[in-house]
Structure formats: C-alpha cells, structure tokens
Structure 1
Amino acid sequence: MKHPIFSIKKLKYDRNKKTVLDIKKIEIHRGSCYVFYGDVGAGKTTLLDVLSKRQKVSNDTVFYEQEDISKISSSKYYQDTCFVPQNIPQPWFKIKVKDYMLKKIKSYKHLTNPSKKLNEMVNKMKLNSYLDLDFKSLSDGEQRWIQLALSIACDTKVLFIDGFGQYLSAEKMSILSKILYRKINYDGVTVIVCTHIRERLSKIASVFIRMDHGKIISVRSHKKKTYKK
C-alpha cells in the first residue's frame, strides 16, 4: 500500500487557552481531493494553515511524505506546495496582472518554461483581457480567480485552497472543476480545500471530512463524476 502524502497523529493546537484543533489521526493520500467542511469556528482554516506550514505545531504530529513537517525547511516545502488564501495579499506597488502571475510562477524552480505554463492557464481560465490591467485595481473576485489560475499553473505536488468557491459564479466553478479534475486524476496533484458549501465540489471530491469545534466528526469517501477528456 502506498504511503500517504500527509498523516496526522494526536494533533492538538490551542489558541488563547482555547483548543482550536484536536485531531487523533487522519491520512491524506496523493492524487485525491480532500474537502474539509463545517460551520464557522470548526477549525477548517486552522487545519489548512497547519498542513500548509503557515502555522507551527508540536513535533511528531504532522508528517509530509513520512517526514515530520516541523523539521522540513520552509524553502523546500514551499516548492512542493501552493496555497490560495481567502484574502489575497496585495502587492505594495502597481503591477500588471501578467507580471504579477509570472513573478509567482517563476519562483517555482521545477518549472522549465514558466511563460508557457502562464499562457496555458490564461487560455483555460479566460484571462486574456486582464493581463495588462493593474492587479490592485481588480475586484476581490477577479483577484481570486487570477490567484487560482497562477497557483494551478505552478504545478506543485499539493494545492491548498481556503474558502473554495468564494466569489465564483456557476460558470467559473465549472471551468475550475474541470481543470482541477484533470490535475488530480491525470497529474496526481493532491488538492486540499476547506469550504462551507461542499455540494459545489461533488465533481472533484474524493473524501468529504466534516469538522466541528476542531474535531473530525465524519469522514466519507465520495465517488466522483467523470469528465470527458
């Protein structure tokens, strides 16, 4: 049996004397989409922050490819993973969308042709009309769509998405789902998301995990619908 890409063992995380996460055990396998859902305060985003190494935790509780995540260098880990936050960080200066995207994509050293990756995703996600615009002038929804595009273009082993479906229309959800389906099933990318609306992920989800007050209360495998090639 293949080893999981992530495993969690006896993870407990407190904030301001309050237990935010209390997870006994869970494994996440590569080439799958794991959906964490639940009400506000369930611990979804905090767990995503832990898995994406944005939040430190105790040693020997979270493992990536069988290695303690706390002992992996951030520079190495961030080459393997990409994170899409709910609130998109703003650049300090004026920058065109094309330059903003290319700068991020070029930071991933395994990509031999960043410009080609950019052009492929621009076409798939219909971004041509945005390329010469100032990134900071765009709406929250437009910025998020661009952030999703460049994050997928980075071709990492793992893609984290916080607040999946936020700001997205039904048309954009359809485009995104088809792209992610292929990344997961043909490229072996592991996609880990948190959301309030799990129904919107029925076509790509492998496993639905419900959280409540920092605990996992149900894990359910999901049979995905098949997209035509």
Structure 2
Amino acid sequence: MNILTLEHLYYSYDNGKTPVLKDINFEFEKGKTYAIVGKSGAGKTTLLSLISGLCKSSDGKVIYKGNDVSKIDREKYRSQDIGVVFQSFNLLPHLTALENVILSIDVSGIKMKDKKKHALEMLKKVELDEAKAKRRVLKLSGGEQQRVAIARALSYNPEVIIADEPTGNLDNATEEAVMKILKGLASEDGKCVIIVTHSPSVAQNVDVVYELQQE
C-alpha cells in the first residue's frame, strides 16, 4: 500500500509561464528505496520541496496516507512525518553531533523521557559512537557529518526519509557506507526512502527509479 502518492502534479514559476514539473504521477511504498533522477533543471529539488510540504503545487496533489498534504497541518507534517537529509548537511556547526540531534527532537515537539539516550541510539544506528557523538560537527569528516544528518532526520521517527543528493560531496567508499544505512532504513525499519541523485551508482542501488524529463 502506498504511503505517498503524487497525482497529476504540476509546478511552474511566473504565474504559469515557466513550467518546471508537468503531470507527475509517482507512487511510494514503505520498505522501499527510490531514486529520482534527471538532468539539472528537470525539477528534482522542486519535487522534493513539494513532497516535504515546503511549497504547494500549481495543480495536482501530494497525498500522504490518503490525505492531501495541502489540506493538513504542514508544519506538523514537516516536523514529524517527513525527515529530510541535505547534501550540505545543514547541521549547526557550533553544536556537537548529539546536540544537533537533540535539537531536532525539540523542534518536532515530540515528548520523550530521555532525549539524550534516544539521540545517542540514533547516532549509534548510523554507526557513530558516543565519543564522536560528543564532538562538534566541524571536527567530523564529511561522511560522519552526513551520518549525523541522517540521525537527525530519524530522531522523531518519520515514516518517509527524503535525501537530496546525500552522497554528492562524498567519496566512493563513503557513498557506499551512507547508501547501506539508507537502504537499511527501508529494508529493516520499513521506512520509505526517497533519494534525489545524479550518481549512477546510487540509482543502480535502489528498488525503484523515477526519471524527471526537462520541460
């Protein structure tokens, strides 16, 4: 059963003069990994913004668990149902890895008995031990920072994980390690994992590939 469906989705700038997405119909299930591919300018990042509720489509629907995202509490949707991982990590550099994850829990508004314990568990899940959890993120490698970003996205247990070029700044070995984590979130934890990528090796390593054609 689909957790997320895009129905006849359109998006354009300048009051319809500059089309970016046209009649997109994609389906996403829990327990699977998806890659969204396409040339620069095809609308991949725009599509992620629509899926994550950051902007509204010109026409069509983003449906999450049977509900039109434009008609639900989008702030709650973004902070509790969808987890986003960015290419540039978007971590707060003056905080430790642990503090970044705890902050994400605070922002979500979800009540937890022991936020620190939970945050450490999320970091352990992405193979970062307590010593690295207590380091400021600037003291971590790029691959380690991306793991922190994944742990942060997992901190409030969303059912959908969206990753925008999560391996774009990483070497091949680190890319493989990050992809192993993302695939495990789908196959072992039942998450729906959606990855925007330019990397052929990433696209070959998922369950379903959707390609966007440039308009």
Instruction: For structure 1, list consecutive stretches of 5 or more residues without a partner in the other structure.
Output: 215-229
1:139-218 paired onto structure 2 within 5 Å? 143-203=145-205, 205-213=206-214
Deviations 1:13-60, CA, capped at 9 Å, x for gaps: 111321011124222222211110111111111101100111112465
- Secondary structure at 1:5 match in 2: strand
**CA deviation after TM superposition for structure 1 residue 129, in Å:** 4.6
Number of equivalences: 210
**1:72 aligned partner:** 72
CA contact (8 A) 1:159 1:191 kept: yes
**2:84 aligned partner:** 83
1:41-56 paired onto structure 2 within 5 Å? 41-56=41-56
1:105 and 2:105 matched: yes
CA contact (8 A) 1:34 1:209 kept: yes
CA contact (8 A) 2:104 2:155 kept: no
Deviations 1:84-134, CA, capped at 9 Å, x for gaps: 12334464x833332122111344427665433322343342354543443
**2:40 aligned partner:** 40
**2:123 aligned partner:** 122
**CA deviation after TM superposition for structure 1 residue 156, in Å:** 1.0
State the one-letter code of the partner of 1:27. Answer: E
**1:19 aligned partner:** 19
CA contact (8 A) 2:143 2:174 kept: no
Given the superposition, is the C-alpha separation of residues 94 and 180 from structure 1 closer, same or farther in structure 2, using an over 3 Å criterion?
Answer: closer
**CA deviation after TM superposition for structure 1 residue 77, in Å:** 0.8
**2:7 aligned partner:** 9
- Secondary structure at 1:75 match in 2: helix
- Secondary structure at 1:187 match in 2: coil
Given the superposition, is the C-alpha separation of residues 113 and 60 from structure 1 closer, same or farther in structure 2, using an over 3 Å criterion?
Answer: farther
In 2: Cα distance, 1:49 partner to 1:25 partner: 16
**1:96 aligned partner:** 96
Given the superposition, is the C-alpha separation of residues 101 and 32 from structure 1 closer, same or farther in structure 2, using an over 3 Å criterion?
Answer: same
**C-alpha RMSD over aligned residues:** 2.7
Instruction: For structure 2, list consecutive stretches of 5 or more residues without a partner in the other structure.
Output: none
Given the superposition, is the C-alpha separation of residues 55 and 127 from structure 1 closer, same or farther in structure 2, using an over 3 Å criterion?
Answer: farther
- Secondary structure at 2:48 match in 1: helix
**CA deviation after TM superposition for structure 1 residue 172, in Å:** 2.7
After TM superposition, the score normalised by the length of structure 2 is: 0.82
In 1: Cα distance, 2:83 partner to 2:169 partner: 20
**1:221 aligned partner:** none
1:52-63 paired onto structure 2 within 5 Å? 52-58=52-58, 60-63=60-63
After TM superposition, the score normalised by the length of structure 1 is: 0.78
**1:217 aligned partner:** none
